[in-house]
Chains A and B, each alone.
Chain A
C-alpha cells in the first residue's frame, strides 16, 4: 500500500471560439499582428461600457450541458482585482459566486503511461464552469517583457474540477476527455500551442487513509498534456520526499520547467479575499428560463461517450475500436457514413483504423481533407466481399485512391486488377506451381501440411495477386 494518498484537481481555461471578443467587437482571432485587435473597451479606458457576447455565453452553457452541469437560472459577472502587466484594467471581469454552470461530471477512460493498461472508468466531478475575459500575451526578453493585447478580453471559460483525481494518468485522461467534448461541441479547438487550452494543477498529499487534505500546491506553466503528466509525477515524488523528511509544505504556486523536468517556487499563493471580488456594476445579471436552456440542449451534439456506446451497439464494434473512431468527431462521422453504406461495419472500422488513419498521419492531413470519400471506402469493402478483388489488391487500390483519387471500380478497371475466379485459369496456374516445385510436393505428400501455404504463395505470385485465394486453396488440396 502507498504511504500517501494523492489528491488532484484541475483548473482548465478554455478559449471559447467566437467571432468577436467577450465584451467588445474586436475580432477574437489568433495570429494577427501584435496590438492590432484592441479598442478602448478591451483596454479598459475610462468611461467605456462592456457588453457581453451572447454566443460566448451560449457556448459556455453548452459546455455545461455537455458535462452534465446544472445551468444557473440567474448568473452575474464580478470584478476580480489584482495587478499584472498583462491585464489592462487591473481587474478581470470574471464570475465569482453565481457562475453559469455548477456541479457536473465527466466519465474518464484512458491508459496508464507505465504499462499501457486501461484505466478503470471513473466519474470526475466538475465543480463549476464560469466565463471570464482572457489576459494579454507576454513575451519575455532579457531585460524587459513585451505585451501584445490582442488576446486580452477574449472569452475564456474556466472549468474547475473536483479534487477527484489520484494520479498523473487520471489527470491526463480527464484532459483528453474534456478536450474531446469541447471539440465535439465546437466550443473550442483546444489547441494548447495557440493557448486555447491552459491547465493549472492543484495537488496535495496526505497520509494514506487520512480524511483531511494536505497542503495544496498549485502547478502552473504547463505547456502540453505530456508535461502536465510529467509535472504531476515529479511533484508527487517531491512532496512525498518533503513529507518523509518531516518538512512542512506551504501553500504555494510552483512553475514547471520542462527542460529540467522539475518544478520551482513561483510565489506564495494569494488568499481569495485578496482578489476583493464584487459584482461588476457595468454588466447586468444574466437569466435563463427552462425553455431557453432546453433550446440550447436541443442543439447539443451527441457526446463522445454516447457515440462510442452507440457504435458498439449498432455496428458491433469492440470498445477499443469504438474509442479510436470516436476520438475525433470528424473520424466518427466518416466511419458512420461509410458504415451505413456497407454490409460489414466492422470491416469498415478495420480499414479506417489500420489504413486510413495511418495514411492520414503519414500525409499529415486532417480527415476533413481526406481524398477518399466514405462512399468509396464502402464500395472498396463491398468489392472484397463480393470476391471481385482480394484483400491484398484492395490495399493497392486504396493507396491509389488515397494518392490520386478515383473510384475503386475505375482503378480496378484501369489497372486490370480484377480477381481471377475462372477455374480453368486458376487450374493452369496451380499445375504450373506443382510442376515447378516437385521437392515441396514430396514434402506435402509425406505429411508436411504447412507446405500448402508455400504453394498458395507461389500461385498468388504467378497470378500477380489476382487469383481468388479460396479457389486456389481448394484446387491445391485437390491436386496435391
Chain B
C-alpha cells in the first residue's frame, strides 16, 4: 500500500470491474496504468480554450431508425447460451436481493 501515490485508486477500480487481483498482479497493473494515465495526460498540455467538447469521433448526427418491430431471436437459441435455466424459460442466476436501475 506504500506506493499509493498514483492518481487513481487501483483497489477501487478493480472492485468496480469485479476483478480480484493478487499483490504481484496489482504491482504490474499499477505500473501499466500509470503509463497509460501519463500518456493520456499529454492531452492536458493542449490549449483547448474555446474548443467545443467533442461528443463523438465521427462527424455524424441523428443516425436513428423508424419505430418498426421485427422478429426476435428464437428462445431455444438464446437460452442455449445460458449456463442454467429455470424451466427452459428464465435465465437462472444466483439469488439477487438488490435489483433496480
Q: Which residues of A contact B (CB under 8 A)?
A: 13, 18-20, 25-29, 33-40, 43, 51-57, 74, 76, 81, 83-86, 92, 98, 132, 134-135, 138-149, 156, 158, 198, 200, 220-221, 253, 266-267, 274, 276, 279, 281, 283-287
- Check if A55 sits within 8 Å of B98, measured CB to CB: no
B64-A286 in contact (CB<8A): yes
Could you tell me which residues of chain B, from 44 to 87, have a CB within 8 Å of some CB in chain A? 55-58, 60-70, 72-73, 75, 78-79, 86
Question: Across the interface, which residues of A come within 8 angstroms of B97, CB to CB?
Answer: 266
- Whether B68 lies near A146 (C-beta < 8 A) is no
Nearest residue, chain A, Cβ from B100: A220
Do B101 and A38 have beta carbons less than 8 Å apart?
no
Q: Would A51 and B65 count as touching, CB distance under 8 A?
A: yes
What would be 5 A-B contacts, judged by CB atoms less than 8 Å apart?
A52-B65, A141-B86, A149-B91, A276-B16, A287-B62
Task: Kindly identify which residue among A53, A86, A144 contacts B92, using a CB–CB cutoff of 8 Å.
Answer: A144
Taking a contact as CB atoms under 8 Å apart, the answer to whether B65 and A34 are in contact is: no
Q: Which B residues fall within an 8 A CB radius of A?
A: 16, 18, 55-58, 60-70, 72-73, 75, 78-79, 86, 89-101
Cβ of B73 and Cβ of A54 under 8 Å apart?
Answer: no
Assess whether B55 is in contact with A267, with CB atoms less than 8 Å apart.
no
A286, B62: Cβ atoms closer than 8 Å: yes
Q: Is the CB–CB distance between A144 and B95 below 8 Å?
A: yes
Given contacts A147-B92, A266-B97, A285-B55, 6 further A-B contacts (CB under 8 A): A35-B91, A37-B72, A43-B78, A85-B93, A140-B95, A200-B100
CA distance A18 to B78 in the complex (A): 24
Q: Which chain A residues border B90 with CB–CB below 8 Å? A: 34-35, 139, 146-148
**When the two chains form their complex, are residues A266 and B56 in contact, meaning their CB atoms are under 8 A apart?**
no
Residues from chain A with Cβ under 8 Å of B86 in the complex: 141, 144, 146
Which of these, B57, B68, B75, B98, contacts A35 with CB under 8 Å? B75
Report the separation of the CA atoms of residues A328 and B18 in the bound assembly, to the nearest whole angstrom: 48
Do B94 and A53 have beta carbons less than 8 Å apart? no
A281 touches B96 (CB 8 A): no
When distances are taken between beta carbons in the complex, the residues of chain A under 8 Å from B64 are 51-54, 57, 286
Residue of B nearest to A53 (CB): B67
| B101 & A13 in contact (Cβ 8 Å cutoff) | yes
Q: Which residues of B contact A25 (CB under 8 A)?
A: 65, 68-70
* Shortest CB distance B90–A (Å): 3
Does the CB pair A35–B96 fall under 8 Å?
Answer: no
Known: A20-B70, A25-B70, A281-B56. A143 touches B16 (CB 8 A): no
Closest Cβ of chain B to A108, distance in Å, is 25
Q: In the complex, what residues of A have CB within 8 A of residue B92's CB?
A: 144-147
